[in-house]
Amino acid sequence: MRIQYVLPGVMSKTDAGKKEMQRRLGLLQKWASDGTTVGIVDIENGPMSIESHYEEYLSAPGAMERVREAEQAGFDAAIVGCYGDPGVDGARELVRIPVVGPGEASMFMACMLGHKYGIVSVMESTVPTLDKLARLVGADAKYIGAVSVGIPVLELASDRERTFAAIVEAGRNLAGRGADTLVLGCMSMAFMDISGEVEKALSIPVINPARAALAMAETLVRCGLSHSKKAYPLPPKLAAARR
Protein backbone atom coordinates (compact mmCIF):
# COMPACT_ATOMS: atom_id res chain seq x y z
CA MET A 1 0.00 0.00 0.00
CA ARG A 2 1.27 3.48 -0.90
CA ILE A 3 -0.08 6.65 0.69
CA GLN A 4 0.89 10.17 -0.34
CA TYR A 5 0.97 12.85 2.36
CA VAL A 6 0.39 16.24 0.74
CA LEU A 7 1.57 19.33 2.60
CA PRO A 8 -0.61 22.24 1.41
CA GLY A 9 2.19 24.75 1.97
CA VAL A 10 5.67 25.54 0.65
CA MET A 11 7.75 23.87 3.33
CA SER A 12 10.53 22.76 0.96
CA LYS A 13 11.43 26.35 0.05
CA THR A 14 14.05 26.45 2.82
CA ASP A 15 16.75 24.00 3.95
CA ALA A 16 15.14 23.84 7.40
CA GLY A 17 11.83 23.10 5.75
CA LYS A 18 13.28 20.25 3.69
CA LYS A 19 14.71 18.72 6.87
CA GLU A 20 11.35 19.09 8.60
CA MET A 21 9.61 17.34 5.72
CA GLN A 22 11.98 14.41 6.05
CA ARG A 23 11.46 14.33 9.82
CA ARG A 24 7.70 14.22 9.33
CA LEU A 25 8.05 11.51 6.72
CA GLY A 26 10.05 9.47 9.21
CA LEU A 27 7.28 9.76 11.80
CA LEU A 28 4.59 8.87 9.28
CA GLN A 29 6.51 5.80 8.20
CA LYS A 30 7.02 4.84 11.85
CA TRP A 31 3.28 5.15 12.51
CA ALA A 32 2.29 3.27 9.36
CA SER A 33 1.37 -0.40 9.38
CA ASP A 34 3.67 -3.07 8.01
CA GLY A 35 3.42 -3.11 4.25
CA THR A 36 2.53 0.60 3.97
CA THR A 37 4.92 3.02 2.26
CA VAL A 38 4.34 6.74 2.82
CA GLY A 39 5.45 9.54 0.52
CA ILE A 40 5.48 13.25 1.23
CA VAL A 41 5.26 16.28 -1.04
CA ASP A 42 4.44 19.97 -0.68
CA ILE A 43 2.96 22.44 -3.18
CA GLU A 44 4.66 24.82 -5.60
CA ASN A 45 2.97 28.03 -4.47
CA GLY A 46 1.04 28.84 -1.32
CA PRO A 47 1.34 29.99 2.28
CA MET A 48 4.15 29.04 4.65
CA SER A 49 1.53 28.18 7.26
CA ILE A 50 -2.27 28.15 7.45
CA GLU A 51 -4.04 30.13 10.16
CA SER A 52 -7.14 31.48 8.40
CA HIS A 53 -9.82 30.78 5.80
CA TYR A 54 -7.82 33.01 3.42
CA GLU A 55 -4.71 30.86 3.68
CA GLU A 56 -6.75 27.69 3.36
CA TYR A 57 -8.15 28.91 0.03
CA LEU A 58 -4.65 29.87 -1.16
CA SER A 59 -3.41 26.36 -0.42
CA ALA A 60 -6.31 24.39 -1.91
CA PRO A 61 -5.43 24.56 -5.66
CA GLY A 62 -1.93 23.20 -5.13
CA ALA A 63 -3.14 20.52 -2.75
CA MET A 64 -5.78 19.30 -5.23
CA GLU A 65 -3.20 19.12 -8.00
CA ARG A 66 -0.80 17.09 -5.83
CA VAL A 67 -3.60 14.63 -5.03
CA ARG A 68 -4.35 14.24 -8.73
CA GLU A 69 -0.65 13.60 -9.37
CA ALA A 70 -0.58 11.04 -6.56
CA GLU A 71 -3.33 9.02 -8.21
CA GLN A 72 -1.52 9.18 -11.55
CA ALA A 73 1.67 7.97 -9.85
CA GLY A 74 -0.11 4.90 -8.50
CA PHE A 75 -0.64 5.85 -4.86
CA ASP A 76 -3.54 4.05 -3.19
CA ALA A 77 -4.69 7.01 -1.06
CA ALA A 78 -3.81 10.61 -0.26
CA ILE A 79 -3.88 12.75 2.87
CA VAL A 80 -4.12 16.55 2.73
CA GLY A 81 -1.88 17.50 5.63
CA CYS A 82 -3.59 20.54 7.13
CA TYR A 83 -6.06 20.29 9.98
CA GLY A 84 -8.63 22.45 8.19
CA ASP A 85 -8.76 19.94 5.28
CA PRO A 86 -8.35 22.58 2.52
CA GLY A 87 -9.28 21.29 -0.90
CA VAL A 88 -10.24 17.81 0.32
CA ASP A 89 -13.75 17.91 -1.14
CA GLY A 90 -12.49 19.20 -4.49
CA ALA A 91 -9.72 16.61 -4.59
CA ARG A 92 -12.28 13.86 -4.02
CA GLU A 93 -14.07 15.02 -7.15
CA LEU A 94 -10.88 14.75 -9.22
CA VAL A 95 -9.77 11.24 -8.25
CA ARG A 96 -11.04 7.79 -7.39
CA ILE A 97 -8.54 6.98 -4.64
CA PRO A 98 -9.50 7.82 -1.03
CA VAL A 99 -8.62 11.37 0.00
CA VAL A 100 -8.48 11.86 3.77
CA GLY A 101 -8.54 15.10 5.73
CA PRO A 102 -6.94 15.02 9.21
CA GLY A 103 -9.62 17.29 10.62
CA GLU A 104 -12.52 15.10 9.54
CA ALA A 105 -10.73 11.85 10.46
CA SER A 106 -9.79 13.02 13.95
CA MET A 107 -13.21 14.54 14.66
CA PHE A 108 -14.98 11.27 13.90
CA MET A 109 -12.41 9.35 15.92
CA ALA A 110 -13.15 11.71 18.82
CA CYS A 111 -16.88 11.08 18.40
CA MET A 112 -16.21 7.35 18.78
CA LEU A 113 -14.14 7.75 21.94
CA GLY A 114 -16.40 9.93 24.05
CA HIS A 115 -19.56 11.99 24.40
CA LYS A 116 -18.06 15.47 23.94
CA TYR A 117 -14.81 16.55 22.32
CA GLY A 118 -12.86 19.76 22.06
CA ILE A 119 -10.02 20.92 19.86
CA VAL A 120 -6.79 22.59 20.95
CA SER A 121 -5.77 24.95 18.17
CA VAL A 122 -3.08 27.51 17.41
CA MET A 123 -4.27 31.09 16.89
CA GLU A 124 -7.72 32.46 17.68
CA SER A 125 -8.13 33.12 13.95
CA THR A 126 -8.37 29.36 13.35
CA VAL A 127 -11.32 28.77 15.68
CA PRO A 128 -14.02 29.83 13.14
CA THR A 129 -12.49 27.50 10.53
CA LEU A 130 -12.71 24.57 12.96
CA ASP A 131 -16.29 25.42 13.96
CA LYS A 132 -17.19 25.48 10.26
CA LEU A 133 -15.40 22.19 9.52
CA ALA A 134 -17.21 20.38 12.35
CA ARG A 135 -20.53 21.50 10.89
CA LEU A 136 -19.59 20.64 7.30
CA VAL A 137 -18.47 17.08 8.04
CA GLY A 138 -21.35 16.41 10.44
CA ALA A 139 -19.26 16.05 13.58
CA ASP A 140 -20.79 19.00 15.41
CA ALA A 141 -23.27 17.10 17.62
CA LYS A 142 -20.51 16.20 20.10
CA TYR A 143 -18.28 19.22 19.43
CA ILE A 144 -18.05 21.71 22.28
CA GLY A 145 -15.60 24.09 20.64
CA ALA A 146 -11.94 24.96 20.20
CA VAL A 147 -9.46 26.82 22.40
CA SER A 148 -6.33 28.39 20.93
CA VAL A 149 -2.90 28.39 22.55
CA GLY A 150 -2.00 31.76 21.03
CA ILE A 151 1.19 30.49 19.39
CA PRO A 152 1.68 30.79 15.60
CA VAL A 153 2.19 27.56 13.68
CA LEU A 154 5.78 28.41 12.76
CA GLU A 155 6.69 29.02 16.41
CA LEU A 156 5.18 25.89 17.98
CA ALA A 157 8.36 23.82 17.89
CA SER A 158 10.75 26.63 18.89
CA ASP A 159 9.93 26.28 22.60
CA ARG A 160 8.60 22.78 23.24
CA GLU A 161 8.03 23.31 26.98
CA ARG A 162 6.07 26.51 26.43
CA THR A 163 3.93 24.90 23.74
CA PHE A 164 3.29 21.79 25.80
CA ALA A 165 2.22 23.89 28.80
CA ALA A 166 -0.10 25.98 26.60
CA ILE A 167 -1.68 22.85 25.10
CA VAL A 168 -2.29 21.35 28.53
CA GLU A 169 -3.82 24.61 29.77
CA ALA A 170 -6.14 24.77 26.76
CA GLY A 171 -7.02 21.12 27.26
CA ARG A 172 -7.93 21.75 30.90
CA ASN A 173 -10.13 24.62 29.77
CA LEU A 174 -11.98 22.31 27.38
CA ALA A 175 -12.20 19.52 29.95
CA GLY A 176 -13.70 22.02 32.39
CA ARG A 177 -16.38 22.75 29.79
CA GLY A 178 -17.26 19.07 29.57
CA ALA A 179 -14.88 17.64 26.96
CA ASP A 180 -14.01 14.00 27.65
CA THR A 181 -11.83 13.70 24.53
CA LEU A 182 -9.37 16.15 22.95
CA VAL A 183 -7.96 16.63 19.47
CA LEU A 184 -4.75 18.46 18.60
CA GLY A 185 -6.06 20.83 15.92
CA CYS A 186 -2.85 21.55 14.03
CA MET A 187 -0.51 19.31 12.06
CA SER A 188 2.58 21.00 13.48
CA MET A 189 1.25 20.04 16.92
CA ALA A 190 0.67 16.52 15.62
CA PHE A 191 4.27 16.19 14.47
CA MET A 192 5.57 17.29 17.86
CA ASP A 193 4.41 13.76 18.79
CA ILE A 194 3.20 14.81 22.24
CA SER A 195 -0.36 13.49 22.35
CA GLY A 196 0.64 10.74 24.78
CA GLU A 197 2.22 13.26 27.15
CA VAL A 198 -0.82 15.53 26.99
CA GLU A 199 -3.11 12.56 27.59
CA LYS A 200 -1.10 11.59 30.66
CA ALA A 201 -1.37 15.16 32.02
CA LEU A 202 -5.14 15.39 31.46
CA SER A 203 -6.28 11.77 31.88
CA ILE A 204 -8.52 11.82 28.80
CA PRO A 205 -7.88 10.57 25.24
CA VAL A 206 -5.87 12.98 23.07
CA ILE A 207 -5.97 12.37 19.32
CA ASN A 208 -3.03 13.04 17.02
CA PRO A 209 -4.66 14.03 13.68
CA ALA A 210 -1.71 12.88 11.58
CA ARG A 211 -1.94 9.37 13.00
CA ALA A 212 -5.74 9.40 12.73
CA ALA A 213 -5.61 10.41 9.05
CA LEU A 214 -2.97 7.80 8.25
CA ALA A 215 -4.93 5.04 10.00
CA MET A 216 -8.13 6.08 8.20
CA ALA A 217 -6.41 6.07 4.82
CA GLU A 218 -4.98 2.61 5.46
CA THR A 219 -8.36 1.31 6.62
CA LEU A 220 -10.19 2.58 3.54
CA VAL A 221 -7.63 1.01 1.21
CA ARG A 222 -7.73 -2.32 3.07
CA CYS A 223 -11.53 -2.35 2.92
CA GLY A 224 -11.51 -1.57 -0.79
CA LEU A 225 -13.46 1.64 -0.21
CA SER A 226 -13.27 5.14 -1.60
CA HIS A 227 -15.52 8.18 -1.68
CA SER A 228 -18.89 8.01 -3.39
CA LYS A 229 -18.85 9.45 -6.89
CA LYS A 230 -22.49 10.35 -6.35
CA ALA A 231 -21.33 12.61 -3.52
CA TYR A 232 -18.12 13.73 -5.22
CA PRO A 233 -18.72 13.53 -8.99
CA LEU A 234 -16.10 14.47 -11.54
CA PRO A 235 -16.71 18.15 -12.43
CA PRO A 236 -18.88 18.31 -15.58
CA LYS A 237 -16.38 20.32 -17.64
CA LEU A 238 -13.62 17.80 -16.90
CA ALA A 239 -15.97 14.91 -17.62
CA ALA A 240 -16.86 16.44 -21.02
CA ALA A 241 -13.17 16.95 -21.85
CA ARG A 242 -12.46 13.27 -21.21
CA ARG A 243 -15.13 12.00 -23.63
Query: Residue 47 burial (CB < 10 Å; 0-12/13-18/19+)?
Result: buried
Per-block mean pLDDT, blocks of 10 residues, the chain (243 long): 96 90 97 97 93 95 97 98 97 98 98 98 95 97 97 92 97 97 97 96 98 98 97 90 74
* pLDDT given at position 238: 87
Q: What is the pTM of this model?
A: 0.95
Contact indicator for 35, 1 with CB cutoff of 8 Å = yes
pLDDT at position 130 is 97
Determine how β-strand 77-80 pairs with β-strand 2-7: parallel
Predicted pLDDT of residue 75: 98
Sign of the four-CA dihedral 201, 118, 123, 207:
positive
**148 neighbors 121 (Cβ within 8 angstroms):** yes
- Which domains are delineated in the chain? 2-101+212-233 (3.40.50.12500), 103-209 (3.40.50.12500)
Q: Let me know: does 121 contact 185? Beta carbons within 8 Å.
A: yes
- Asked whether 58 and 46 are in contact (CB, 8 A), the reply is yes
CA dihedral 147, 152, 155, 160 (to 10 degrees): 0
